[in-house]
Amino acid sequence: MDKFKISGGHPLSGEVPVSGSKNSALPALAACLLTDEPVTLKRIPQARELQTREMPVAHTGAKILDRNGTVEVEARDLERPEAPYDVVKTMRASSLVLGPLVARTGRARVSMPGGCAIGARPINLHVSALEHLGAEIQQSHGYVEAVALDGLRGGEVHFDRITVTGTEDVLMAAVLARGETVIRNAAREPEVTDLADLLTKMGARIEGAGTSIIRVEGVERLHGTEHAIIPDRIEAGTFLLAAAITRGDLMVSDCNPEHVGALIMKMRQAGAEINEDGDSIRVRCPNSAKAVDVTTEEYPGFATDLQAQYMAWMTVARGISFVTETIFENRFMHAPELTRMGANIRIEGRQAIIAGEEQLMGTQVIASDLRASASLVLAALIAKGESTIHRVYHIDRGYEQIERKLAQVGAKIERVQ
Ligand code: EPZ
């Protein structure tokens, strides 16, 4: 299993480009199942989670052509409207094919994703939303079986709590349902808006994406199109924090500053100098940070996917900070590993209390999930001496060649096979 070896103490400088968004690519690929015509998606990041051949989309019988980040999907014949356990167990976002498959073919059989390191992550809200559109759903032997042989019908969906992929799943179902669907308490994440933009290019009729009320007027069929997905805001945020923690001077380019607005506000409060210019952000942080509290929230609040990386920065800040996680019930797995590096962190339920230290120490640590591994990389970039990060397959799931990008801006990092 690959691991990273990192020698700390080298400020990052120069320019690093951001790739396409992993969390936008996944629903975009699933949306291709809604038409029998070819759809071309651009900026698909070469992150492991998106290795197309494994994707549930391929399993359905859709033809996929991946040319170095430009992916053409043609879902002419969907012989297998299903996402089997072997596919879902490696990639829980496979549940995103549930809505498109039942809307397009009248049936879908999808393995239930099960829990992961950061929480139980049920899909009950996806299921009840699709039932509101007339799907008959049974759960048996670890599978969700959805049937709507006469097609779906528009309806009123009100999510009990905001769910990103739940909103995306029901949005993809509603575009082919008869009549109007209203989705209330919808997720406002940029990935939802990007999906709505793609569906609209395919001929869907959607209003209100990006707000908490989305209205969809169903259509008979959708057609092919071309679409470039949005930049990865979590990758952009990770690089901003990498520059700050190393007290560097970095230009993060090909990104959308607005999508990381909440992070930028907190980083400025902590003392970082941040200049936004079109699709680039320059960050300079000559001094150690001032401790600043954060609470994770749904967009446009502070992203839970940046919580771990932010915590790494706070471990060397001046003062005590409180990091509160409101989205997932078990997203502090990085804290004990940061503590092994000399950080001073106490966990009390959904809150971490961090007393900033002068210096972290290089050592061996283990990554537990995607964003936790990014947090350990950031800590190792400033730790005294060398660190070894094990199980970096976690970081490969969501970042495209992160060690190459970091090395290009001055990090002493290498992948050891
Ligand atoms: C998406 O996950 C992202 N994944 C996650 O990114 C991200 O952390 C999360 O949204 C929150 O922003 C993708 O887009 C592929 P949710 P998702 O449904 O949609 C509970 C990363 O690091 N819930 O918004 O699965 C759920 O357990 C990943 O890139 C239910 O109870 O998250 C959680 O506590 C990690 N029932 C909360 O809602 C449901 O049916 C929000 O989850 C659905 C969700």
Residue range 39-89, pLDDT digits in tens? 999 999 987 666 655 678 888 999 999 888 899 999 998 989 999 888 888
- The span from the CA of 291 to the CA of 314, in Å, is 6
- The span from the CA of 397 to the CA of 117, in Å, is 14
What pLDDT does 50 receive? 65
What pLDDT does 41 receive? 97
Which residues have C-beta within 8 Å of that of residue 140, sequence separation ≥ 6?
Answer: none
pLDDT tens digits, residue range 133-146? Answer: 999 999 998 999 99
Does the active-site annotation cover 32? Answer: no
pLDDT tens digits, residue range 65-79? Answer: 988 889 999 999 898
Regarding the beta carbon of 165 and ligand 1, being less than 6 Å apart is answered: yes
Atom of ligand 1 nearest to the CA of 96: 15
Regarding the beta carbon of 371 and ligand 1, being less than 6 Å apart is answered: yes
Look at 278 and 115; give whichever has higher pLDDT.
278
What pLDDT does 48 receive? 64
pLDDT tens digits, residue range 382-417? Answer: 999 999 999 999 999 899 999 999 999 999 999 998
This model's pTM is above 0.85? yes
Atom of ligand 1 nearest to the CA of 191: 14
pLDDT band at 1 (very low <50, low <70, confident <90, very high): confident
Residues of the chain above pLDDT 70, percent? 98
- The span from the CA of 187 to the CA of 33, in Å, is 22
- The span from the CA of 414 to the CA of 411, in Å, is 9
Atom of ligand 1 nearest to the CA of 123: 40
| Sheet with 156-158, side-by-side order of all strands | 156-158, 180-184, 213-217, 205-207
Regarding the beta carbon of 159 and ligand 1, being less than 6 Å apart is answered: no
- The span from the CA of 27 to the CA of 318, in Å, is 41
Regarding the beta carbon of 190 and ligand 1, being less than 6 Å apart is answered: no
